[in-house]
Every structure is written in structure tokens, then in C-alpha cells.
């Protein structure tokens, strides 16, 4: 690790940090990315010279990117602009350092990344590592504006759930026909210990439309008996504000639980009478929801699972007849996680969701009851 640019503007700041720039002793190609931390000289004094515990911002860049943060603040001050910064922001911290007559030194944390995606992952790891060290030492947290844009540390067992795939055959040939399967496609059924919902998400970046509460009259007559458990929404047009962009799937930077939930729970076509029956008789409601994510080659692999909240409120999108399913706690140790599920139909081995164009299927439990997306 190398510290650079630590002197005051006239070479005699209150605290100076000897050294080179974040590229360090070895010359790096100008196209290589490196990971750096901006250091507060006062914090360096407070920590007895510990540079890691003096970092207030972690970033990635090439060339002299590390030095641009200070330059941007200096330019704003020269123009006598009022910096609209949060008290805990990077800009405000740099402003404080400059007011003390000091420069903003930088610490090279790692280097040599040819690909920006690799640098992004290294930056995410650095944010987690430095953040954890600061918290353990009871130092102020990092000022990164979006420290939670990545999944962070993972147990290796969970890492493999996101990165590896196991094929699993659920039923032998010649099992009882599944009456809920697509026409002409069924001569076997998938048996789960309890009824389960399997949905196929998208691995691509997507934009979710804005929504608003719909008037009470939008509730179909068949749902009036359970109206306390159903909230009706209208989806707004693409020109309306409030749309949310959702990032694409990356197994090495998997979605957080919140990101995955938002992908998994909404906009599924389920018959209103089915939802009404589940709400009226919660013991017949599916126990869990599994999110399958397509991977290159065509397999849909289960990467996330949650309990279905049997006491929760369902969302109905009136214009489309699609539903938002209430989810409870995340399930991290189910046998289906990391698997691509297969069954046999007409003597042919196919994925469980094959032929279900709506992307949702309810797998029946031991009672034999079935309910599928319309």
C-alpha cells in the first residue's frame, strides 16, 4: 500500500505524508485500473499513523483519477460556489481538509486491473474491508454515497449457490399426469413436500414502472370477501416519474435480498379465485417462492428462495390482472438452491418451467392440489 500527495499546498501542511502517488513504486500501464482510498491527515494523526483507519473514501480509477476529487472541490471554492454537500459526504470532508491547509493524500489498496468489471469487484471488496475495519475500530464510516450497491461478503456456501449449477430430476417417467401443465405437454407431475411457487425472472437490466393506489371500485367482485388482504394498484406510463432501474444479474456481484425480492414477487398472472382461496384457507397457500434466473445455455437456475407470508397483503395490478406476492423471511438452505429442475413429459426430459410462457408455476404438494398461473 502506498500513500501519496500528502503535503500542504506550500509543502508544509500540519500533517504531511511522504510517498508517491497511488500507482506506487511499480509503473502501471495507463489503461490499468487501481483501487485507492482517500486519507484524512488529521485521522492519520489520531490513529497513530494507521493509513487504513484514516481512509474516508474508497474509489477505483486510472491515471490520476485519485487526485480529481480534491481538484473538483478546489475549483468550486475558487468560483465561490456554495457546496451543497451532506455533512458526512466526501466533498464536505475534503473541504474540511483544505480548510486546515492540508492536501488529500491517497492510499493505493490494489492495482493492475485490465478490465473495469474486475476493478468494480475489487472496489466493492475494498469498501467492505475498509468499512469493517473502521467499524471495528469505532472510526467514522466511509463517505461513499452508495456503499450498498453490491452484495458484499458472502459465505462460500452461498457464493456457490450463485455461481454453480446442479441439475436435479424431480420425478421419474410415468408419474401421475399434471393437469395444470400446458396442453398436450404433461404426463408427469412435480411433487414437493409442500406446494411451492417457482418463478422465472430475467437476468437483464430492467425498468419497473411507477405505480399508485387504485380506487376501491377496482377490486373484482370475487375478491370482496378478502379485501382487507388485497391492495389494488395502477401502473403508470413510461413518461411518468417514479420508475426504478434494476441492474442486470451478475453471479459474482449477486443481487442483495431486497433487489432479488423486487424481481421475484411482482407482476405474476394468477387467477383471482386462486388467490382468494389461498387467503381464505392459508394452509393451502404455497409455503415458499423460488426465483429462477436464466443462465447462458438456456438453463433456469434457482438462486433465491423466501417463505410466502401467509398473513401478508397481496398486491393486485388491476389493468393487467397480475399479482404481487407477499414474501416473508429468506430461505438460505433449501435443497433446490443452485439447481436447475427437470421433469419428464411424454418421455422427454425438460425443465420444470418449459412451456410455462407466463414464467410462473405452482408445484403441487402431497395433497395433490394444484394451482398455476393463468
Q: Which of 159, 129, 164 is nearest to 252 (CA)?
A: 159
Beta strands across the sheet bearing 166-169: 166-169, 339-345, 348-351
Q: Which of 30, 250, 259 is nearest to 120 (CA)?
A: 250
Q: How many CB atoms lie within 10 A of CB 188?
A: 21
pLDDT score for 28: 52
As a whole number, the mean pLDDT across the chain is: 80
pLDDT score for 246: 86
Q: Which of 276, 333, 324 is nearest to 304 (CA)?
A: 333
Alpha-carbon distance 286 to 309, whole Å?
9
Specify the residue for cell string 484524512.
40
Q: Is the dihedral of CA 213, 217, 220, 225 positive or negative?
A: positive
Least confident of 163-167, 253-257, 324-328: 253-257
User: What is the mean predicted confidence (pLDDT) over 296-322?
Assistant: 94
65-78 helix and 90-99 helix, angle to the nearest 10 degrees: 70
Alpha-carbon distance 59 to 122, whole Å?
10
Every domain of the chain and the residues it spans = 2-136, 159-363
Alpha-carbon distance 253 to 116, whole Å?
14
Alpha-carbon distance 246 to 248, whole Å?
7
On whether the CB atoms of residues 81 and 63 are closer than 8 A, the answer is no
Contacts of residue 321, Cβ cutoff 8 Å, sequence gap at least 6: 269, 272, 374
For the chain, what is the largest distance between any 2 Cα atoms, rounded to a whole number of angstroms?
84
Q: Residue 352: is its pLDDT beyond 90?
A: yes
Cell for 277? 382461496
> How would you write the chain as a 3-class SS string?
CEEECCCCCCCCCCCCCCCCCCCCCCCCCCCCEEEEEEECHHHHHHCCCCCHHHEEEEEEECCCHHHHHHHHHHHHHHCCCCCCCCCCCHHHHHHHHHHCCCCCCEEEEEEEECCHHHHHHHHHHHHHHHHHHHHHCCCCCCCCCCCCCCCCCCCHHHHHHHHCCEEEECCCCCCCCCCCCCCCCCCCCCCCCCCEEEEECCCCCEEECCEEECCHHHCCHHHHHHHHHEEEEEECCCCCCCCEEECCCCCCCCCCHHHHHHHHCCCEEECHHHHHHHHHCHHHCCCEEEEEEECCCCCEEEEEEEEECCCCCEEEECCCCEEECCEEEECCCCCCCCEEEEEEECCEEEECCCCCCCCEEEECCCCCCCCCEC
Task: Report the predicted TM-score, pTM, of the whole model to 2 decimal places.
Answer: 0.63
Q: Residue 316: is its pLDDT beyond 90?
A: yes
Q: In this predicted model, what pLDDT tens digit does every residue of 205-234 receive, in sequence order?
A: 988 888 888 876 778 888 888 989 999 988
Least confident of 49-63, 131-145, 291-305: 131-145
For residue 365, what pLDDT band results from cuts at 50, 70 and 90? Answer: low
User: What is the mean predicted confidence (pLDDT) over 286-292?
Assistant: 97
Alpha-carbon distance 83 to 66, whole Å?
20
Q: Residue 178: is its pLDDT beyond 50?
A: no
pLDDT score for 153: 66
Least confident of 50-54, 75-79, 351-355: 75-79
pLDDT score for 180: 44
Task: Give the pairing of strands 327-330 and 360-363.
Answer: unpaired
- Terminal-residue alpha carbon distance, the chain: 58
pLDDT score for 184: 38
Of residues 144 and 329, the one with the higher pLDDT is 329
Specify the residue for cell string 382468494.
276
Alpha-carbon distance 108 to 285, whole Å?
54
Specify the residue for cell string 475494498.
126
Quote the distance between the C-alpha of residue 223 and its chain's center.
33
Q: Which of 66, 24, 356 is nearest to 198 (CA)?
A: 356
pLDDT score for 351: 96
Amino acid at each position: 500500500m502506498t500513500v501519496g500527495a500528502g503535503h500542504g499546498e506550500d509543502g508544509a501542511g500540519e500533517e504531511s505524508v511522504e510517498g508517491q502517488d497511488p500507482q506506487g513504486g511499480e509503473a502501471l500501464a495507463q489503461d490499468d485500473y487501481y483501487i485507492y482510498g482517500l486519507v484524512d491527515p488529521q485521522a492519520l494523526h489520531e490513529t497513530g499513523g494507521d493509513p487504513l483507519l484514516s481512509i474516508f473514501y474508497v474509489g477505483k480509477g486510472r491515471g490520476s483519477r485519485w487526485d480529481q476529487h480534491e481538484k473538483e472541490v478546489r475549483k468550486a471554492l475558487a468560483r465561490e460556489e456554495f457546496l451543497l454537500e451532506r455533512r458526512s459526504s466526501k466533498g464536505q470532508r475534503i473541504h474540511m481538509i483544505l480548510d486546515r491547509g492540508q492536501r488529500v493524500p491517497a492510499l493505493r489498496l490494489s492495482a493492475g486491473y485490465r478490465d473495469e468489471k474486475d476493478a468494480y469487484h475489487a472496489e466493492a471488496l475494498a469498501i467492505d474491508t475498509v468499512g469493517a475495519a473502521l467499524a471495528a475500530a469505532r472510526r467514522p464510516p466511509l463517505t461513499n454515497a452508495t456503499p450498498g450497491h453490491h452484495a458484499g461478503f458472502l459465505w462460500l456456501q452461498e457464493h456457490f449457490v450463485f455461481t454453480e449449477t446442479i441439475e436435479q430430476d424431480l420425478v421419474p417417467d410415468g408419474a401421475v399426469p399434471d393437469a395444470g401443465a400446458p396442453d398436450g405437454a404433461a404426463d408427469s407431475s412435480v411433487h414437493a413436500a409442500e406446494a411451492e411457487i417457482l418463478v422465472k425472472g430475467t437476468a437483464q437490466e430492467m425498468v419497473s414502472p411507477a405505480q399508485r393506489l387504485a380506487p376501491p371500485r377496482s377490486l373484482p367482485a370475487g375478491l370482496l370477501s378478502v379485501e382487507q388482504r388485497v391492495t389494488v394498484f395502477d401502473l403508470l406510463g413510461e413518461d411518468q416519474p417514479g420508475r426504478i432501474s434494476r441492474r442486470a444479474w451478475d453471479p459474482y456481484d449477486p443481487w442483495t435480498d431486497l433487489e432479488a425480492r423486487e424481481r421475484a414477487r411482482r407482476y405474476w398472472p394468477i387467477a383471482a379465485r386462486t388467490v382468494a382461496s389461498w387467503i381464505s384457507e392459508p394452509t393451502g397457500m404455497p409455503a415458499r417462492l423460488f426465483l429462477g434466473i436464466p443462465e447462458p445455455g438456456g438453463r433456469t437456475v434457482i438462486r433465491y428462495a423466501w417463505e410466502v407470508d401467509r398473513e401478508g397483503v397481496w398486491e393486485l395490478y388491476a389493468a393487467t390482472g397480475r399479482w404481487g406476492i407477499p414474501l416473508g423471511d429468506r430461505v438460505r438452505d433449501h435443497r433446490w438452491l443452485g439447481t436447475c429442475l427437470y421433469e419428464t413429459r411424454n418421455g422427454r426430459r425438460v425443465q420444470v418451467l418449459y412451456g410455462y410462457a407466463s414464467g410462473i408455476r405452482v408445484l403441487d404438494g402431497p395433497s395433490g392440489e394444484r394451482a398455476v398461473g393463468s
